[in-house]
Structure 1
Amino acid sequence: MSKSYDAARDVFAGWEVDTEAALTALSQIPISMHCWQGDDVVGFEKKTGSSGGGIQATGNHPGRARTPEELRADLEFAYSKIPGKHRLNLHAFYMDTDESPDRDEIEYRHFIPWVDWAKEQGLGLDFNPTFFAHAKADDNLTLSHPDAGIRDFWIEHGKRSREIAARMGEALGSAAVNNIWVPDGYKDIPVDRMAARQRLEASLDTMCAEKHDKAHMLDAVESKLFGIGVEACTVGSHEFYLGYAIKRGTLLCLDMGHFHPTENIADKLSSVALSVDELLLHVSRPMRWDSDHVILQDDSILQMAQELVFTGLLDRTHIGLDFFDATISRTAAWVIGSRNMQKALLRALLLPQDRLKEVEENLDWTTRLMLTEEARDLPFAAVWEEFCERNEVPAGLGLIDDLDAYQASVAGRG
């Protein structure tokens, strides 16, 4: 225990905050790190025959992972710099196999190397069917496509993805969150939104008809405001999926980049939590809508973390990251983003929650403002450094040196 942490613990005790309780709580919160940051959302299919389906990673920084082995090596390095034990969020087109199955032919055996690796690393796995970057998604319509044959193709892909996720969860003894996001929508103004949404609802119902043990797999549905090529209408809107999650009992995924820039995800959490049992967060930084920048310790992240802590939603919320920036070191992006999410949670856990709630209940806005502003000066950094030290990961300049050294070791990848 360092002298700086010892002093910080005393300061927080004066605010009636127990730093040891905060550190214990933080150690029990897993972050699901997204595999697609490591290779610019390319995946490892032997064939795709399609454009990206509205998914773009900007930049061409040296060192992109080109194989599952390279991606796993990069992930291992990143996890070694992130305190605590966490998860990996895997997309369906990151299969590890010499075969060339189409999306409606994927099986659990195509992902066994990932499961074996996760066991070795002590990680949980989450999963996502991949409804983009495929010839049958080039119309930006999948589960809501007017062509029943195309809908059936994607329904089968979704069924198989759910089965794979359930098998992963069973093998690892930790439920895999299987998150369903489709790019469906229209570039120009449609005349029949209802028909598209009815098709999407029916497809989802068919796809999710088989029941899986919730100890192994949890379904989540993810909305979006709009995207590239679907500027006029996104079939799976927030309202659509909020209603679907309530009716069908799935998790609701809130992605920080999928709403209007003036909307605050922190404000949505307590609202939707009154109607759905569990939530999935995709944490990102939408500088310009869904631009998916590496997250900072900015107000949006700090407020979201505080809302999770103060409303008691940590046990009902699965926290995942979702950004992809190819202008910087991809491994550094993982480390910076994951640690910033943890730092935001720690700051929330170190706030005088009971006192703040009491003054708000008493309508004492002056004291509330004074407390929240004075609390900004509390020695959070010393507590974070203690957390890193206990987990044997570097902090400060030592971390920067490690990130630079690893980036130099992979920069020669073609």
Structure 2
Amino acid sequence: MTTYNINVTLSTAKKEKPQAEKLQFGKTFTDHMFILDYSVDIGWHDARIIPYQNISLDPASAIFHYGQSVFEGLKAYLTKKEQVLLFRPDQNFKRFNQSNDRLCIPHIDEDLALQALKQLIQVDREWIPKAADTSLYIRPFIISTESYLGVAPSTHYQFIIILSPVGSYYKEGLSPIKISVENEFVRAVAGGTGTAKTGGNYASSLKAQQQSGEKGYSQVLWLDGVERKYIEEVGSMNIFFKIDGEVVTPMINGSILEGITRKSILQLLRYWGVPVTERRISIDEIKQAYVDGKLEEAFGTGTAAVIAPVGELFWNNEKMTINNGQTGEVSQKLYDTLTGIQTGALEDPFGWVVEVPSIKYFSPIESQDMIEIP
């Protein structure tokens, strides 16, 4: 693996850290951030860790007008032995470049991205919360920064990583959530950007989410954009159903984001010998399974929530209560196992976790130090 040089400027004004019990998802950010610049004539350059701060962009920057951006989400966990673990970060940066390709953004060096992330975490290690169900959320993203009002791929970009200590994504914790099936709006279609993790996909989901929230539902269940009958995702998560002993999930079809947690769940279930299938699933099939008493569990999967059990589905003015509104056996086992592996409490038979080496940074500095990270 190549060793990269990263300039480090440590903050001279540390922020006050929030109490673990008061953590809200995505509201608090650490003392430092990583930035990497791109220009078409130089390529990616000037890798640096600097104090967390605002960024300055020209009003004509392409990101504001044409939405050329991608992002990722992953977490770092602190074990009882004070080890810092990342969960499958290679898969996140691999998907990051797949999204870059769809948005005509130049690929990043995945080894550099991972090494930069490790070093940033080393600098802000003290920000990783220690309480149960907490972690350090990681948000890598790229924005187009060329000042040009023309519909064309940008010639300048910035790749940035920021960190945020977080608690549970849902205030309910692992308690089952209520979701409504969306009949009016669609999230994505095959051939669009549904398989890329780009901001526009999330902006287009807000109206349906807002209307669903006004009716008391935590998320919406998206149907396909063509026939409006096949299930795709739930909110910003992948979705699974347990029907008559078999776990089923929508197959990747060109409009569904292939989640890292989804991939891990499938591998876990097959490792346990649980029948699991990836295929097209219609909302009519789910309704019939409910009527027949065969719809045993439903749950969403994603980095932020890990597992989100579904206790109620609302479709065509009818409520379907799943597993008496309780967390199912498979959902609970998956959550316990996955979080156990992520936090080092359980053995990792798959080689998913990556440890971040411990390096101590001694005192704030104003000048830049050149530091190499293996």
Q: Which has the higher strand share?
A: 2
Fold conserved between structures, TM > 0.5: no
Give the structure-2-normalised TM-score.
0.28
